[in-house]
């Protein structure tokens, strides 16, 4: 079955710097890769996703890149702000009845 590895587990950056979180997946049939943000005491919320027919997707300060050959995808946050502090999860899934498999999570801390 699918396995998703996420790194780093914790990340601390200064306000204004960029942050990058990386994930690798094992199932070459996976074709959907969402990223979730979880604030303290709340459920995860989708912030951006990418499908396997696209190499990069941007939404304001966040972007996701996908390398299908290497089976890894990354979340990039530019000009970080204190409100970006949260736990971020990557996930992968395929459409052949596959389930959404999550990475272990990255705790991002943005210091003012």
Stretch that binds other proteins, among 10-18, 37-45, 61-69, 71-79 (CB under 8 A): 37-45
Partners of 110 in the β-ladder? 13
Give 51's Cβ-side CA count (13 Å radius): 2
Is 32 one of the binding residues for other proteins (CB under 8 A)?
yes
Is 43 an interacting residue with respect to other proteins (CB under 8 A)? Answer: yes
Q: Which residues bind other proteins (CB under 8 A)?
A: 1, 4, 6, 9, 31-32, 34, 36, 41-46, 49, 51, 89, 93-95, 97, 99-105
């Amino acid at each position: 079955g699918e396995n998703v590895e996420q790194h780093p587990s914790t990340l601390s950056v200064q306000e204004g710097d960029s942050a990058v979180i990386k994930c690798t997946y094992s199932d070459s049939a996976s074709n959907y890769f969402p990223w979730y943000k979880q604030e303290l005491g709340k459920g995860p919320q989708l912030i951006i996703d990418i499908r396997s027919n696209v190499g990069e997707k941007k939404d304001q300060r966040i972007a996701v890149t996908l390398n299908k050959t290497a089976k890894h995808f990354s979340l990039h946050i530019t000009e970080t702000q204190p409100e970006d502090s949260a736990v971020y999860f990557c996930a992968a899934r395929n459409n052949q009845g596959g389930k959404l498999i999550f990475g272990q999570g990255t705790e991002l801390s943005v210091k003012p």
